[in-house]
Amino acid sequence: MLSDYRRIFSPAGSLLFSAAGFISRLPLSMIGVGIVTMLSQLGGEYWLAGSVSATQALAAAAVGPQISRLVDRHGQRRVVLPATAVTVAAICALLLCAHFAAPDWTLFVAAAVAGCMPSMGALVRSRWAEMHRDSPWLLHTAYSLESVLDELIYVVGPILAIALSSKVRAGAGPLAAAVLLGVGVLLFAVQGRTEPPVRSGPRHARGSALRTPGLGLLVLTLTSVGASYGAVDVATVAFAGAHHHKALSGLLLGLYALGSGLAGAVVGAIGPRGALTRRLLLSVGAMVAATAPLLFAPGLAALAGMLFVAGMAVAPTLITTMGLVDHLASAAQLTESITWIVSGLSVGVALGYATAGWVVDAAGAAAGYRVPCAAALLAASTVCLALPRLTRAGAR
């Protein structure tokens, strides 16, 4: 079963660009929590810290697809290097504004410009798609590997950012994110032999990739999936705090990510089974079934097991969605198409944070799990309603 994971690295340069992609994606999970920790350490109020962090996340979700569209038109190296330079400069400006207690509006401006961060996950997957375009089985395994690495990134990154900002210096977390981003993107960009060629597409490819039939429905689905994912984070922290063990929330969320990562690894080893649309419907259905028990968790021990099981539905959903995007989108718009999916997921996570926080404040910690359950149900409903259209789009 593990032989497919070895085979995806058989082409020259595959291990190098995947490793560089991991380094360059790690800041994605560090910058938001790093901003919150830095500003709170410097005496700022949490509403300000959260708002500045949300500004960066929403800017990245809006600007990311536009950068990826430029990548599809002009190539990865020509676009990601200047975009990364702008991002690193904006993060440094944010650090200086926070350190010297500049007016609050300067923090928001710097955070918005830092949203120019390129979607490295989309760029890495584009290279895998080019490398294994003639082998759907290996491409499925490569996408599975990247989903597992994404889970690892979101376990390691926040821990690293919080530790640096709270134990070293307030700005150490965001600064480390800027350094890792610059180094990782540079290492990624210099590997020209694995960079996908720029392809000319049909006339409609000059516009947004959202015009691709079915892609908008997948973005809506992943927005709901992201809302479920983000709401679980907030609800779990609140639930652990209500049981007087808030420090265990990190371990609990680690189990959630571990379940997702292990499921993604198994899915990649087993390989694709059945039509992509049917697999997507099964995976979101499994998310509904696995999330529902969280409503009835009697304590932290039971919650740990429930979170591990609930996480097992996340990675298969993401893997199947990426495979369906590769099937629907033209090669000339693949990077932008993947980035729209990532942006939808990011917006969903932000919505999940906000909604779950409101529900917890209004109805208590246990009620917070109503949000991920509702979001998972919305994702499944979207897929059910969109299934005929997705099937027709895939056939075309």
Tell me how far apart the alpha carbons of residues 226 and 230 are, in angstroms, rounded to a whole number.
6
Which residues neighbour 310 within 8 Å (Cβ) at sequence distance 6 or greater? 232, 256, 259, 287, 290, 291, 293, 294, 372
CA 191, 192, 194, 197: dihedral to nearest 10 degrees? 150
What stretch of H or E contains 229?
helix 215-242
Per-residue pLDDT averaged across 71-80, rounded?
A: 89
- pTM comes to 0.79
- Secondary structure letter of residue 75 according to DSSP: -
Question: Nearest-CA neighbor of 346 among 13, 9, 54?
Answer: 54
Contacts 24+ apart (CB under 8 A), 168-173: 170/37, 170/38, 170/41, 170/42, 170/98, 170/99, 171/38, 171/95, 171/98, 171/99, 173/30, 173/33, 173/34, 173/37, 173/38
Q: Within 13 A of 53's CA, how many CA atoms are on the CB side?
A: 26
Domain with CATH 1.20.1250.20 in the chain: 1-198, 204-396
Task: Check residue 350 and give its pLDDT.
Answer: 79
Give the model confidence (pLDDT) of 305-354 as tens digits: 999 999 999 888 988 888 888 778 777 888 888 888 888 888 888 788 77
Q: What's the token pair of residue 208?
A: 């947004």
Task: Check residue 182 and give its pLDDT.
Answer: 94
The segment with the largest mean pLDDT, out of 204-208, 231-235, 292-296, is 292-296
Tell me how far apart the alpha carbons of residues 201 and 72 are, in angstroms, rounded to a whole number.
10
Domain 1-198 in CATH 3.40.605.10? The answer is no
| Contact in structure between 375 and 224 (CB atoms under 8 Å) | yes
Question: 204-396 has which CATH code?
Answer: 1.20.1250.20
